[in-house]
Each structure stands twice: as structure tokens, then as C-alpha cells.
């Protein structure tokens, strides 16, 4: 029985036996245990509890001495026997041999239970999983500042020296326990500390002795030395649970679920355990931040430089591509007309015929010429290539908000993007390079647009008035349809006309969709009184 | 769409509404000043001439909301489904007062005015000539006698506040004198010069 089970004090209520990350899944009383095919004489009447991690057998007669716990992770296989006549239903559990390393190459063996007492607050921390908690569960002081774990159960970390001669009970004063002075703050630290208690600075390593405060070697399971009969050698890894009062099916289902869930394998990705306390921790944190910022900046700037270098090559490549296309004009004659159009217009649209690169070393004298070039390029983007098939941004639209123009232009440029400040410098030059001139205008609401002369206020207001005269009062949306401009822009234009007193508004009070404003010509102006 | 020609309209009380009264925008206050002042000119003129026509002395903000009001056919136009709100009338009252074409009555509130479709000075002249014409000089008259004369006059139903103001103007040229009476104020008219 002791090969797999560990004695526990069953007089304690089962929920109190659970570890913090453990949950009770089910239980059944009136069970007995078999080792192999033989009844285990001391464990014939009790209750069995299955948790997310363990099976716990609580003996009814001698709960304190004869209760056992089994770890689910050691179970390799289960079988269910439904019972026949006087034979009770049984669940057979096959265990891995007790000395099999389950850690999967980890340095530490799968110790069943660690309890360690926090030196600061005295809280006894208990954990079962692979990864020990890095800090005391009560006061949050990192475990590094505490003693190394003191396993009280079956096995212990393997990298701990096993020499019994080095064992000293905790609290025993040692001959070589001279206190360690911190190199930074000179505080005399307890020799067992790794980091200074005051400022958190790592303490100089002790060279003279191995970690003398290693865990106690209370090894209850002794598989190698355990005398065993030949047949029990086979059966040592088999445990049967006999259900004398039923409940076997439900219990088996619960057990299966727990085994499949493998809660013990689910290790939460633990944040890199950092010592964040003390002055040392703060200094380190800050240094890490600075380092990462520096790294990010370096990377970003390198990328940018590489991009700049590539830009010229890309443009050259595109020009070359275009030239080759031109040379093959003859062959292209055979292409369908649509394809020809797409090729030629896409090149124009890309603005690659005369790309203007933003040069960082442009002098003031050059700057003016540079802005001129930019204006020419923008003109192409807006009105299409000269003598080409049109297709500029303003081909079908007479008025475009500035942000859209800026976005479209930079999308066309692709590389060497134009900042808004330069864009604003280019705009006044735009009208010189476009025919009909593309004008810039700021509305009352500070919305800025570029527009063709057709959409200047001087042209628009009479057109609007004529439209209203002819077709009656119209809403903003109706005017926008008539003028084929975005509603937001036409609203600004009408507002300007209203401000000039050329149109007046009429709010229809009860509309289905709230209030709608209809625009009228200003009949107040020049009205001659014709009433009483 | 039709290009609507606005037309004058004669109401049931015989008042000829101007054609602009059919302009829907008249019932929506314009946000910009040039159109707005035109609009206010039209409204004040319309209100005063209608008041003169109906001999209405007061205008309240409530008049816009009540269909039974004397002002209903001016403050709303059911043919184009438009009407002024109480809020808009309050604004108009303010305009009238600021143009000295009305005075808040009672004072120190903003929702009701006495309309000056005749200025208090003009009312003073009307009052005096009425007194002369009906031979009331040198006799003491109560306000009630002036407001409810046996033969209907221009002064019939004139509000006491306005009457008092007109008499005050006459007292300045010694053509009238207030008489403090027990049961209501009185006045005595003099021929003057």
C-alpha cells in the first residue's frame, strides 16, 4: 500500500486536506482497498474521495492512522468491474512503478508536497504543482528571500546534496553562520539569504559550504529497500477499490474525468520571476526599461534608413519597368484595349513617371524648386496626367476635403511620404500647375478643401439660387445630389451662402425623421409690403 | 416642383395678410443677422398692423400656443402648416420692446407686452382731442368712464397702464391733472393752449 499511497491524517475534514489549487470532485463511502488481488487488511472500510489531483482514502475505523492518499498522475490505467453476485463492483488502478521519474527531464523530481515557512510572516506555504510559488502566499515576500523548500513528504529535489551529515535542523546555530554584509548597503544579512534583506541586492555567494539548510531526508517511501514477495512485485502497482455500497459507476466517471483533465499538467505560464522589491529591484526595473526603449529606437531607425535606401532603387526599378513597357508598345497593340488602359493608367496613377523624393539635405534654394515639383506631382494626382486619359482624383468630383487629398497623394507616393506641413506649403502653388486651376478653400468651420472653379462660392451661390427658384425648396441632401458633392461639403457651401444672406432656412417642425431643413432663396430681401 | 408664388390672404376678421406670411422661412428664425433683421422687421410690422386692425393692446408669449387666441391667424399659418412657438414670440416681444414699439406690462417680466401701435404721445393727443370733442374739459372723469364711454371711441378698452402713461404726458403740458380718488383714479382735462 505504501508504494503508492501516502499516509495522511484522515481525522481532518476532507476539504481541509485540499491544497489551494485542488478541487474535490466526488466521493463514495463503504469502500475497501485491495492490493493486487488481495484485500488490504487495514483498509477495508472507509470512504474514497477523488479530487483534481488525488484519491484520498479515509478509513472509517482509524481515520488518523490508516487513511491514505494516492496521486492521480501516477495512475497509468484504470479498469472497471461491474460486480457479480456477491462480488462488489471494483475499480482497478494501475500505477507507475514508484521510482519512475515523472518530471520529464526536469531537474526536480515530482515532489508530492512542499511546505515552507515564510521567514517574514511565518505563514506555512503549501504547494503541489511543478512550479513552486515564487512568493509567500500571505505576505508576498519572494521565496528567494526565504529558506529553500523543506519537503516534508516522500521525495525531494535531486540537486540537493543527500549527505545526511550536512543535515541540520532549522534554527540550529551553525559554526560558520557569520552574517553576510551587503556590498551595497552594508546590512548584515542572515547567512541563508540570497538577496539583501534591506535593498534586495544579490549577496556574495558563500563558497565554503553547500547549501547546508537542505531539506530533511524524511523519505517515507523506500521502494528499493522494500522487501516484497515475488507475486506482489507484479501486483505492487495494482490497487483495487471495492464498492460495497454502490456508487461505483458515478465514481468511476468522475475519476475518469479527473484523469483526463490532468490538472497537474496544466502549468500556468508564470511571469518571469523578478525581484521587484527593494532599491535594487527598482534600479533594475528602470535599467531594463531604458534598455528596451533604446533597443526599440535603434531597430526603428535602422528600418527607416533601410527604407530610405530602398526607395531610390524601387523608383529606378519602376521607371525601368515603365520604359520596357513603352518599348514593347508594338506587342501591346495586340492586348485587349482594357488591359492597355489599365497598364498605362496605373503607371500614371502611381505617380511614378516623375517621382519627387523628399530629400533630407535640401537647401533653401532647392526647396522652392522642390515644392514646385511636388505641386506638379500633386496636380497629376488630382487632375490626371497631362493629355492622358484623365482619371485623376478630381476627375469626377469637383471638391475634395484636404485630408482625403493628403491621404491619396501619400498613398500614390508610397515612399518618401509628405508631411502635412509640406503639403500645406505645396497647396498655394497648386493653382499654377493645374488647368482649370484647382483652388484651396477654408470653410467657416475650418474644414479645408480643394475644388475646381466651378465649385467656388461665386459660381455656386447663383447656381444654387437658380436651382431653388426652379425646383422649389430643397434639403441639403437634395442639393448634394444635384451638385454631386459629399453632403458634408455641400452643407458648408450652403452655410456660406446663408451667411451671405442669399438663402434662408425653413425647419419643418414635424418630420418623420426629426427636423429637416429646407433651403429657400432669401425672399425677405427686397420684399415690398403688400399687406394691411 | 412648383415655384410657389406667395399671395396675400384676407382673414376672417378682414385683415389682409401680406404675401410673405406664406413664406415658410418666416416661421423659422434665421441664424445670420442680415436675414434675421429683415425677418424681424416683417414680424414687428405685421404684429403692429394686425393689433391696430383688431384694436389689440396686449401680446403674450402664450398667444402662440392657444388656437383660441386673438393672434392665432397671424402667429400661425395653417395653409403652409407653420406657426411660431412661444419661445419665438418671446424673442419677438424682446425685439418690439427694444425698438420701443411695445413695453412689458406688467413690468419686470418678459412674456407679455402692451403694444404701441400708437405711441404714448399719440395716445395723449387722441385722449385730449377726444376730451375736447366730447366736452369733458374741467370735469373729473374716472378711468372707467374713459375706457367705457357711452359712444365707442378710439379709447375704448385702452389698458389702464397705457392710459396712465398718456395722461402723464398730458400733465407735463398742463392739459390734464390726476385726481386721487377713493375708489379708482380719476383725471381732469384742461384746454391747454
User: What string of H, E and C letters represents the secondary structure of A304-319?
Assistant: HHHHHHHHHHHHHHHH
**Could you report the per-residue pLDDT of A437-480, keeping only the tens digit for each?**
888 888 888 888 888 888 888 899 999 999 998 888 888 888 98
Measure the CA–CA gap between B153 and A67, rounded to whole angstroms.
Answer: 120
Same domain for B109 and B18: yes
DSSP-H helix ranges across A237-277: 248-261
Q: Name, in order, each residue with C-beta under 8 angstroms of B119's C-beta and a sequence gap of 6 or more.
A: none
Same domain for A494 and A427: no
Instruction: Look at residues B84, B115, B146 and tell me which one is the last residue of a structural domain.
Output: B115
Contact list, A525 vs chain B (CB under 8 Å):
35, 38
Among A252, A226, A202, CA closest to A92? A252
Same domain for A477 and A419: no
Partner residues linked to A57 by β-bridges? A48, A68
Among B75, B77, B78, B112, CA closest to B97? B112
**pLDDT(B93) > 90:** yes
Residue A90's CATH number: 2.30.29.30
Measure the CA–CA gap between A28 and A255, rounded to whole angstroms.
Answer: 12
φ and ψ at residue B176, rounded to 5 degrees: -155, 165
Average the pLDDT over B14-34 and give the result: 89
Instruction: Look at residues B91, B115, B139 and tell me which one is the last residue of a structural domain.
Output: B115
Same domain for A404 and A386: yes
Distances (CA, A) of B26 to A414, B22, B35: 54, 8, 10
Dihedral sign, CA of A494, A496, A500, A504? positive
Do A155 and A111 meet the contact criterion of CB atoms below 8 Å apart?
A: yes
Contact list, B46 vs chain A (CB under 8 Å):
531
**Does the CB of B39 have a partner CB in chain A at under 8 Å?**
yes
- Residue B169: inside a domain, yes or no? yes
DSSP-H helix ranges across B24-142: 33-54, 72-75, 86-98, 120-133
Same domain for A225 and A94: yes
Same domain for B160 and B77: no
Partner residues linked to A68 by β-bridges? A7, A57
Residue A345's CATH number: 1.10.10.10
Using CA coordinates, name the residue in chain A closest to B21: A531
Is B32–A506 a contact, with Cβ atoms under 8 angstroms apart? Answer: no
Same domain for B78 and B32: yes
Give pLDDT, residue A52: 84
Measure the CA–CA gap between A390 and A345, rounded to whole angstroms.
Answer: 9
Instruction: Look at residues A451, A467, A493 and tell me which one is the last residue of a structural domain.
Output: A451
Please, what is the angle between helix A457-471 and helix A476-483, to 10°? 110
How far apart are the two ends of chain A, measured CA to CA in Å? 118
Same domain for A509 and A435: no
Same domain for B108 and B18: yes
- Residue B2: inside a domain, yes or no? no
Same domain for B16 and B111: yes
Can you tell me whether residue A4 is helix, strand or coil? coil
Give pLDDT, residue B78: 87
- Residue A88: inside a domain, yes or no? yes
Do A111 and A157 meet the contact criterion of CB atoms below 8 Å apart?
A: yes
- Residue B137: inside a domain, yes or no? yes
Domain range holding B110?
9-115
Instruction: Look at residues B56, B87, B115 and tell me which one is the last residue of a structural domain.
Output: B115
Instruction: Look at residues A402, A418, A451 and tell me which one is the last residue of a structural domain.
Output: A451
pTM of the model: 0.48
Separation of CA A469 from chain center: 61
Is B35–A473 a contact, with Cβ atoms under 8 angstroms apart? Answer: no
- The minimum CA-CA distance between A480 and chain B, rounded to whole Å, is 17
Same domain for A437 and A343: yes
Same domain for B125 and B111: no
Contact list, B4 vs chain A (CB under 8 Å):
472
Do B143 and B162 meet the contact criterion of CB atoms below 8 Å apart?
A: no
Dihedral sign, CA of A259, A264, A265, A271? positive
Same domain for A81 and A3: yes
Do A311 and A416 meet the contact criterion of CB atoms below 8 Å apart?
A: yes
Q: How many CB atoms lie within 10 A of CB A35?
A: 21
**Secondary-structure breakdown of chain B: helix, strand, coil percentages, each rounded to the nearest 5:** 45, 15, 40
Is B4–A501 a contact, with Cβ atoms under 8 angstroms apart? Answer: no
Same domain for B65 and B40: yes
Is B20–A523 a contact, with Cβ atoms under 8 angstroms apart? Answer: yes
Same domain for A444 and A347: yes
Name residues 61-90 of chain B within 8 A of A (Cβ): 82
Is A506–B53 a contact, with Cβ atoms under 8 angstroms apart? Answer: no
Residue B127's CATH number: 1.10.10.10
| Joined grid coordinates for residue A495 | 452655410
Give pLDDT, residue A463: 92
Is B53–A532 a contact, with Cβ atoms under 8 angstroms apart? Answer: yes
Q: CA gyration radius for chain A?
A: 43
- The minimum CA-CA distance between A505 and chain B, rounded to whole Å, is 6
Among A523, A524, A463, A525, CA closest to A493? A463
Q: In degrees, to the nearest 5, what angle opens at C-alpha A105 toward C-alphas A102 and A107?
A: 95
Same domain for A228 and A90: yes
Query: Could you give the number of structural domains in chain B?
Result: 2
**Does the CB of B192 have a partner CB in chain A at under 8 Å?**
no
DSSP string, A393-461: TTSS-SEEEHHHHHHHHHHHH-SSPPPHHHHHHHHHHHGGGSSSPPEEEE-TTS-EEEE-GGGSHHHHH
Same domain for B128 and B101: no
Is B46–A531 a contact, with Cβ atoms under 8 angstroms apart? Answer: yes
Residue whose cell numbers read 475497501: A32
- b/e per residue A3-31 (b: at least 16 CB within 10 A): bbbbebebeeeeeebbeebbeebbbbebb
Same domain for B133 and B103: no
Same domain for A83 and A20: yes
Same domain for A229 and A89: yes
Name residues 446-505 of chain A within 8 A of B (Cβ): 469-473, 498-501, 504-505
Contact list, A500 vs chain B (CB under 8 Å):
34
**Could you report the per-residue pLDDT of B96-134, keeping only the tens digit for each?**
999 999 999 888 888 899 999 999 999 999 999 999 888
Distances (CA, A) of A282 to A143, A200, B180: 18, 9, 93
- Residue A119: inside a domain, yes or no? no
A94 Rama sector, left if φ>0, alpha if ψ -120 to 50, beta otherwise: beta
- Residue A7: inside a domain, yes or no? yes
Residue whose cell numbers read 544579490: A202
- Judged on CB neighbours under 10 Å (0-12, 13-18, 19+), A364 is exposed
- Residue A180: inside a domain, yes or no? no
**Cross-chain CB nearest to A531 (options B27, B30, B49):** B49
Greatest extent of chain B over all pairs of C-alpha atoms, in Å: 68
Same domain for B53 and B74: yes
Measure the CA–CA gap between A168 and A164, rounded to whole angstroms.
Answer: 9
Residue B13's CATH number: 1.10.10.570
- Residue A44: inside a domain, yes or no? yes
- Residue B3: inside a domain, yes or no? no
Give pLDDT, residue A131: 56
Separation of CA B135 from chain center: 28
Among B191, B192, B163, CA closest to B178? B163
Measure the CA–CA gap between A342 and A135, rounded to whole angstroms.
Answer: 67
- The minimum CA-CA distance between A500 and chain B, rounded to whole Å, is 8
Using CA coordinates, name the residue in chain A closest to B7: A530
Partner residues linked to A38 by β-bridges? A35
Domain range holding A251?
1-98+221-272
Residue whose cell numbers read 488647368: A435
Partner residues linked to B82 by β-bridges? B77
Is A472–B3 a contact, with Cβ atoms under 8 angstroms apart? Answer: yes
Is A504–B35 a contact, with Cβ atoms under 8 angstroms apart? Answer: yes
Same domain for B64 and B29: yes
Same domain for A93 and A233: yes
Do B9 and B71 meet the contact criterion of CB atoms below 8 Å apart?
A: no
Using CA coordinates, name the residue in chain A closest to B83: A509
- Residue A527: inside a domain, yes or no? no
- Residue A138: inside a domain, yes or no? no
- Residue B83: inside a domain, yes or no? yes
Same domain for B167 and B79: no
Partner residues linked to A364 by β-bridges? none
Do A492 and A447 meet the contact criterion of CB atoms below 8 Å apart?
A: yes
Is B42–A524 a contact, with Cβ atoms under 8 angstroms apart? Answer: yes
ipTM score of the complex?
A: 0.83
Query: Could you give the number of structural domains in chain A?
Result: 3
- The minimum CA-CA distance between A509 and chain B, rounded to whole Å, is 8
Within chain A, which residues score under 70 in pLDDT?
1-3, 98-115, 126-134, 143-177, 206-235, 266-277, 329-366, 385-391, 509-514
**Does the CB of B16 have a partner CB in chain A at under 8 Å?**
yes
Residue whose cell numbers read 534583506: A197
Residue whose cell numbers read 551595497: A184
Contact list, A520 vs chain B (CB under 8 Å):
23-25
**Does the CB of A364 have a partner CB in chain B at under 8 Å?**
no
Q: In degrees, to the nearest 5, what angle opens at C-alpha A106 toward C-alphas A101 and A110?
A: 50
Measure the CA–CA gap between A171 and A149, rounded to whole angstroms.
Answer: 15
**Does the CB of A530 have a partner CB in chain B at under 8 Å?**
yes
Measure the CA–CA gap between B146 and B169, rounded to whole angstroms.
Answer: 16
Give pLDDT, residue A160: 45
HSE at residue B74, side-chain half, CA atoms within 13 A, is 28
**Cross-chain CB nearest to B32 (options A501, A520, A523):** A501
Give pLDDT, residue B97: 93
- Residue A185: inside a domain, yes or no? no
Q: How many CB atoms lie within 10 A of CB A60?
A: 15
Can you tell me whether residue A389 is helix, strand or coil? coil
Amino acid at each position: 500500500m505504501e508504494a503508492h499511497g501516502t499516509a495522511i491524517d484522515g481525522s481532518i475534514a476532507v476539504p481541509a486536506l485540499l491544497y489551494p489549487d485542488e478541487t474535490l470532485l466526488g466521493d463514495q463511502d463503504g469502500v475497501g482497498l485491495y492490493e493486487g488481488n488481495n484485500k488490504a487488511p487495514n483498509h477495508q472500510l472507509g470512504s474514497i474521495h477523488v479530487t483534481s489531483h488525488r484519491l484520498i482514502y479515509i478509513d472509517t475505523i482509524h481515520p488518523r492512522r490508516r487513511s491514505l492518499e494516492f496521486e492521480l498522475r501516477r495512475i497509468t490505467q484504470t479498469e472497471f468491474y461491474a460486480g457479480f453476485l456477491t462480488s462488489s463492483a471494483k475499480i482497478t488502478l494501475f500505477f507507475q512503478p514508484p521510482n519512475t521519474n515523472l518530471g520529464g527531464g526536469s531537474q526536480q523530481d515530482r515532489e508530492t508536497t512542499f511546505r515552507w515557512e515564510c521567514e517574514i510572516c511565518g505563514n506555512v506555504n503549501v504547494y503541489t504543482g511543478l512550479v513552486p510559488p515564487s512568493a509567500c502566499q500571505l505576505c508576498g515576500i519572494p521565496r528567494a528571500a526565504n529558506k529553500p523548500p523543506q519537503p516534508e513528504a516522500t521525495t525531494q529535489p535531486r540537486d540537493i546534496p543527500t549527505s545526511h551529515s550536512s543535515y541540520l535542523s532549522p534554527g540550529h546555530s551553525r559554526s560558520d553562520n557569520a552574517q553576510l554584509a551587503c556590498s551595497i548597503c552594508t546590512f548584515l544579512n542572515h547567512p541563508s539569504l540570497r538577496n539583501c534583506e534591506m535593498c534586495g541586492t544579490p549577496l556574495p555567494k558563500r563558497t565554503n559550504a553547500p547549501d547546508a539548510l537542505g531539506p530533511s531526508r524524511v523519505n517515507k517511501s523506500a521502494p528499493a529497500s522494500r522487501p516484497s514477495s515475488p507475486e506482489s512485485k507484479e501486483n505492487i502497482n495494482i490497487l483495487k477499490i471495492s464498492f460495497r455500497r454502490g456508487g461505483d459507476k458515478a465514481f468511476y466517471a468522475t475519476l475518469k474525468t479527473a484523469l483526463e483533465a490532468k490538472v497537474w499538467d496544466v502549468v500556468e505560464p508564470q511571469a518571469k520571476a523578478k525581484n521587484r522589491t527593494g532599491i535594487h529591484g527598482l534600479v533594475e526595473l528602470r535599467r531594463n526599461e531604458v534598455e528596451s526603449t533604446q533597443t526599440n529606437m535603434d531597430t526603428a531607425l535602422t528600418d527607416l534608413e533601410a527604407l530610405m535606401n530602398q526607395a531610390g532603387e524601387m523608383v529606378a526599378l519602376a521607371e525601368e519597368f515603365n520604359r520596357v513597357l513603352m518599348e514593347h508598345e508594338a506587342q501591346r497593340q495586340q492586348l485587349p484595349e482594357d488591359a492597355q488602359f489599365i497598364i498605362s493608367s496605373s503607371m500614371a496613377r502611381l505617380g511614378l513617371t516623375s517621382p519627387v523624393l523628399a530629400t533630407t539635405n535640401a537647401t533653401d534654394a532647392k526647396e522652392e524648386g522642390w515644392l514646385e515639383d511636388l505641386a506638379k506631382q500633386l496636380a497629376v494626382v488630382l487632375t490626371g496626367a497631362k493629355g492622358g486619359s484623365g482619371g485623376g482624383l478630381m476627375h469626377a468630383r469637383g471638391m475634395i476635403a484636404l485630408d482625403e487629398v493628403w491621404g491619396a497623394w501619400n498613398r500614390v507616393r508610397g515612399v518618401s511620404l509628405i508631411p502635412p506641413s509640406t503639403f500645406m506649403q505645396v497647396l498655394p502653388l497648386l493653382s499654377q500647375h493645374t488647368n482649370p486651376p484647382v483652388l484651396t478653400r477654408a470653410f467657416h468651420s475650418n474644414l479645408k478643401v480643394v475644388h475646381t472653379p466651378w465649385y467656388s462660392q461665386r459660381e455656386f451661390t447663383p447656381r444654387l439660387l437658380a436651382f431653388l427658384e426652379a425646383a422649389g425648396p430643397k434639403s441639403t441632401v437634395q442639393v448634394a445630389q444635384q451638385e454631386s458633392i459629399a453632403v458634408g461639403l455641400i452643407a458648408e457651401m450652403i452655410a456660406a451662402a446663408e451667411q451671405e444672406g442669399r438663402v434662408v432656412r425653413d425647419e419643418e417642425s414635424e418630420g418623420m425623421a426629426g427636423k429637416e431643413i429646407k433651403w429657400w432663396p432669401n425672399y425677405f430681401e427686397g420684399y415690398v409690403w403688400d399687406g394691411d | 416642383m412648383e415655384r410657389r408664388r406667395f399671395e396675400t390672404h384676407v382673414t376672417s376678421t378682414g385683415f389682409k395678410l401680406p404675401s410673405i406670411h406664406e413664406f415658410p422661412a418666416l416661421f423659422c428664425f434665421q441664424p445670420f443677422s442680415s436675414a434675421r433683421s429683415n425677418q424681424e422687421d416683417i414680424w414687428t410690422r405685421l404684429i403692429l398692423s394686425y393689433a391696430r386692425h383688431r384694436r389689440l393692446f396686449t401680446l403674450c408669449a402664450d398667444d402662440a400656443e392657444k388656437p383660441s387666441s386673438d393672434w392665432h391667424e397671424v402667429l400661425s399659418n395653417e395653409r403652409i402648416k407653420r406657426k411660431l412657438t412661444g419661445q419665438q414670440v418671446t424673442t419677438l416681444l424682446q425685439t418690439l420692446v427694444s425698438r420701443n414699439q411695445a413695453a412689458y406690462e406688467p413690468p419686470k417680466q418678459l412674456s407679455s407686452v402692451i403694444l404701441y401701435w400708437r405711441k404714448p404721445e399719440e395716445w395723449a393727443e387722441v385722449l385730449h382731442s377726444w376730451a375736447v370733442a366730447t366736452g369733458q374739459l374741467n370735469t373729473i372723469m374716472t378711468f372707467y368712464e374713459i375706457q367705457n364711454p357711452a359712444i365707442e371711441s378710439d379709447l375704448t378698452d385702452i389698458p389702464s397702464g397705457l392710459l396712465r402713461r398718456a395722461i402723464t404726458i398730458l400733465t407735463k403740458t398742463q392739459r390734464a391733472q390726476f385726481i386721487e380718488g377713493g375708489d379708482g383714479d380719476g383725471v381732469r382735462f384742461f384746454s391747454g393752449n
